[in-house]
């Protein structure tokens, strides 16, 4: 089974900061990786799919990169609406393991 | 874009079976993709439960495999989750979703309590 390790678990930042979240797969998943944003009481929302493709309607300050086992989500200039929890998910196989999540907090 | 909606009891007794159904609209399950169930215990992260293809092929989280069954009814464009021998640790919001970064349902809270 593929394990996903996400870091950091908590990130404190200010509006306007550039932040990066990392996700590591226990084996190669090519670029079969998605990033989700979740706000309290809501279903997760897809931000990035296939490691670097921006979902329609998602602001361009979000970007994804990486392949094989190392992936990053970058927010270029934090906005107040971006403070939420972020998850990576691999979908290389019929399974769909998630990372542990990163809670992005206001500093 | 497809839309998904979970349905089923919000309260299940310990040792009994949790059953949920996901109804898909705007896309035919027969057309492809895996379809999955995910859960989120209160205050915790997302846990993938399992996935099913329209052919009926399944894949389950090893930690839940002994208690989970996912099935599909292409005639109704639905897929279902059964989790048996539930305990309080199975209390969670349960989501259905299309795999490969597709749409999600809004989620349904299932509480295990007597």
Nearest by CB to residue A96, choosing from B51, B53, B106, is: B51
Beta bridge partners of B41: none
What is the DSSP secondary structure assignment for residue A78, as one 8-state letter? Answer: -
Across residues B71-80, what is the average pLDDT?
96
Contact status of B105 with chain A (Cβ, < 8 Å) = yes
Per-residue pLDDT tens digits for A53-71? 999 999 999 999 999 999 9
The rounded distance, in Å, linking the Cα atoms of B35 and B88 is 26
Residue B52: per-residue pLDDT: 95
Residue A90: per-residue pLDDT: 95
Within 8 A of B39 by CB-CB distance, chain A residues are none
Strand ranges inside A3-91, DSSP E:
4-7, 10-13, 19-25, 33-38, 45-49, 53-54, 62-67, 70-75, 85-90
Contact status of B51 with chain A (Cβ, < 8 Å) = yes
Q: Which of B53, B56, B58, B1 is nearest to B31 (CA)?
A: B53
pLDDT tens by residue, chain A, 107 residues: 899 999 999 999 999 999 999 999 999 999 999 999 999 999 999 999 999 999 999 999 999 999 999 999 999 999 999 999 999 999 988 889 999 999 999 88
Residue B1: per-residue pLDDT: 84
Across residues B33-60, what is the average pLDDT?
95
Interface of B with A in 29-48 (CB under 8 A): 34, 36, 38, 45-48
Contact assignment for A96 to B45 by CB distance below 8 Å = no
Contact assignment for B45 to A100 by CB distance below 8 Å = yes
B102/chain A closest Cα distance in angstroms: 8
% of chain A exceeding 70 in pLDDT: 100
Per-residue pLDDT tens digits for A15-25? 999 999 999 99
Residue A36: per-residue pLDDT: 98
Residue of B5, B22, B45 best to disrupt the A interface, most CBs of A under 10 A: B45
The rounded distance, in Å, linking the Cα atoms of B98 and B112 is 26
Per-residue pLDDT tens digits for B11-23? 999 999 999 999 9
């Amino acid at each position: 089974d593929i394990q996903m390790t996400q870091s950091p678990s908590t990130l404190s930042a200010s509006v306007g900061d550039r932040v990066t979240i990392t996700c590591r797969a226990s084996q190669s998943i090519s670029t079969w990786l998605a990033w989700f944003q979740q706000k309290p009481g809501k279903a997760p929302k897809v931000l990035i799919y296939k490691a670097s493709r921006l979902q329609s309607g998602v602001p361009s300050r979000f970007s994804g990169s990486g392949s094989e086992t190392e992936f990053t989500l970058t927010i270029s200039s934090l906005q107040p609406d971006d403070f939420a929890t972020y998850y990576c998910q691999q979908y290389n196989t019929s399974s769909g393991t998630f990372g542990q999540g990163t809670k992005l907090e206001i500093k | 874009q497809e839309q998904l909606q979970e349905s089923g009891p919000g309260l299940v007794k310990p040792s009994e079976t949790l059953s949920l159904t996901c109804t898909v609209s705007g896309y035919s399950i027969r057309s492809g993709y895996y379809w999955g169930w995910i859960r989120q215990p209160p205050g915790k992260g997302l846990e993938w439960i399992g996935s099913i293809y329209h052919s009926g092929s399944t894949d389950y989280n090893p930690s839940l495999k002994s208690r989970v069954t996912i099935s599909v009814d292409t005639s109704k464009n639905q897929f279902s989750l059964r989790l048996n021998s539930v305990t309080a640790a199975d209390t969670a919001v349960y989501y259905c979703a299309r795999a490969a970064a597709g749409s999600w349902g809004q989620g349904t809270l299932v509480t295990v309590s007597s």
